[in-house]
Amino acid sequence: MDALESLLDEVALEGLDGLCLPALWSRLETRVPPFPLPLEPYTQEFLWRALATHPGISFYEEPRERPDLQLQDRYEEIDLETGIVESRRDPVPLEDVYPIHMILENKDGIQGSCQYFKERKNITSDIRTKTLQPRCTMVEAFGRWGKKLIIVASQDMRYRALIGLEGDPDLKLPDFSYCILERLGRSRWQGELQRDLHSTAFKVDAGKLHYHRKILNKNGLITMQSHVIRLPTGAQQHSILLLLNRFHMDRRSKYDILMEKLSAVLSTRSNRTETLGKLREELGLCERTFKRLYQYMLNAGLAKVVPLPLQEIHPERGPCKTKKGTDVMVRCLRLLKEFKRKVEDQDDDEDEEAISKAVPPVDIVYERDMLTQTYELIERRGTKGISQAEIRVAMNVGKLEARMLCRLLQRFKVVKGFMEDEGRQRTTKYISCVFAEESDLSRQYEREKARSELLTTVSLASVQEESLLPEGEDAFLSESDSEEESSGGRRKGRGSQRDSKSFSNGGLRTQPHRSTPTKGGWKVISLHPLKKHPSSSLGASERACQSSFRGNNLLDTSSSSDPGLTA
């Protein structure tokens, strides 16, 4: 790429916001690969004339001066041993020179983000004539407008710079997805972290950003890879690094790359097994790094260490027998499953392919509303029901549109949703109210509901029975004791005589008691033999209890504060 192509490429990559002259020189100085010309005053004037006479370049005057462009290298603090980015100090947030202001549904087909899209003034006619001749020099233009002078490339140039030479220029992207693509183009080789995009730049829900990013990934416009940052506290922060295809660089950690290489080597061996020494020689690693590498493989469940006879692995590397005549055993690494990159959308794509094969598309009648046709699709499925993903494939709509259709039908109470277990996931199946009562899912739901109510009833009954039963070994009276108490006969034991005496006087002891219902009312039973108390303390407690019983004249079991009394 020559100097003029590099110049136009830098302007186009800056997006709809454009860039001022100081930012342009800064971009050319840090360009990778390096800009071929030295940025001297005469060279800058030459580049200015090239921009001023190019028909795809426009010039604008913004209402305020553009802040200085601050470039930051996120990979300047990287651990060479592990390949993990380290943040040794708290990061200072830089001012966002390009805040997100999306241009939505523009009639001229303009896409992108621009803060002063409606306020800025087009001054291209002041820069060049209609015959593409410059009207002023760079020094004159900068002296007149300063940092308010903004250089912007055309829509076609900006889109081509983002999708690359192999991209399809006829591909129409949603405005939101295009703004993500534009943001990635502005970050060049640095890329953007998905966490920063949804939390800082776009300030939207992570699910919405994932939905629009998925469009770019399916069309092959961006690449994704795992990204790890070690914080000053020692904790690791994981995210996804997004890059344009033309700026793709493997930014994964060192051991991720080595694990992929080791997996590829083992997959070509017999029985996917090889000795540890031979693997270390082929990878050219030191003993410490290789030990940490295969330990990562073991912890991830990708491989295991097995001792095998040397004669089975490498019989040519004898001797294979010891002096005692036994086999020489060597430690080998056996691959259990191949290492795969963590691609977030892989499972979603496989599920969609399986659903598309199982559900035939519906012939959409555009004269009828989509809600009615969706209900007819659900009704045709009868008692089996249909999931939201199947509705999306059959009706050829997006995920958000399919969710809206299902919610509206549920709101109008014409369909019912039942949860069904499918593997490790629970999927909602929508069934028409006409077939809802006859469906297997509805019957299963009623059975589970009745079973749950039965379990609740049994558990409550057992709790009530346990609360009525007395506790302790001495809680029950014998039949002879009951007969004696009812007839007013003699009590057994000295402790029982004291109890009867104290209760006849209305006195209560401090020992735990139990009350059991009898035919005549409530009866208080001593749980433990009473100890002998001094007469003075006994009389005082009896007088206190007597005064208490005179005030109440009734034993209230529901509000008793004594833990030994239960209803």
E strands within 83-180? 85-86, 121-122, 149-153
Higher pLDDT, 454 or 445: 454
Higher pLDDT, 236 or 205: 205
Angle between helices 138-145 and 21-29 (to 10 degrees): 120
Give the span between the Cα atoms of 489 and 500, in whole angstroms.
Answer: 11
Higher pLDDT, 48 or 528: 48
Which tokens in the block code for residue 39?
Answer: 């940025």
Tell me the pLDDT tens digit for each residue of 108-139: 889 999 999 999 999 999 999 999 999 999 99
**Per-residue model confidence (pLDDT) at position 88:** 58
Collect contacts of 95-99 with beta carbons under 8 A, ≥24 apart.
95/67, 95/70, 96/200, 96/201, 97/66, 97/67, 97/68, 97/69, 97/70, 98/15, 98/17, 98/186
**Per-residue model confidence (pLDDT) at position 528:** 43
Which tokens in the block code for residue 118?
Answer: 């409606």
Q: Among 100, 213, 111, 210, which residue's Cα sits nearest to residue 169? A: 111
Q: Among 166, 185, 165, 188, which residue's Cα sits nearest to residue 177? A: 185
Residue pair 514/475 in contact by the 8 Å Cβ criterion: yes
- Residues forming beta bridges with residue 513, ordered by sequence position: 526
pLDDT of 308 strictly over 70: yes
Cα 47 to chain centroid distance, Å, stands at 47
Tell me the pLDDT tens digit for each residue of 144-190: 999 999 999 999 999 999 998 888 888 999 999 999 999 999 999 98
State which amino acid sits at residue 51: L
Alpha helices for 268-368 (secondary structure H): 276-283, 287-299, 310-313, 346-358
486: helix, coil or strand?
helix
Residue pair 188/45 in contact by the 8 Å Cβ criterion: no
Contacts of 293 (CB under 8 A, 6+ apart): 255, 258, 259, 262, 283, 285
User: Buried b vs exposed e over 119-148: b needs ≥16 C-beta within 10 Å?
Assistant: ebeebeeebbeeeeebebebeebbeebebb
Dihedral (Cα; 165, 167, 170, 173), 10-degree rounding = -130
Percent of the chain topping pLDDT 70: 72
Higher pLDDT, 311 or 44: 44
Regarding pTM above 0.75, the answer is no
Q: Among 467, 472, 468, which residue's Cα sits nearest to residue 528? A: 472
pLDDT of 356 strictly over 80: no
Residue pair 209/255 in contact by the 8 Å Cβ criterion: no
In this structure, what DSSP letter does residue 245 have? G
For the chain, list the domains and their CATH numbers.
Answer: 3-247 (no CATH), 254-335 (1.10.10.10), 370-456 (1.10.10.10)
Place of tokens 């997996």: 263
Say how many Å lie between the first and final Cα of the chain, rounded: 93
Kind and range of the H or E run holding 426: strand 425-432
Pairing of strands 85-86, 222-230: parallel
Tell me the pLDDT tens digit for each residue of 376-409: 999 888 888 888 888 988 888 888 888 999 999 9
Report residue 431: phi and psi, to 5°: -125, 140
Give the span between the Cα atoms of 173 and 180, in whole angstroms.
Answer: 11
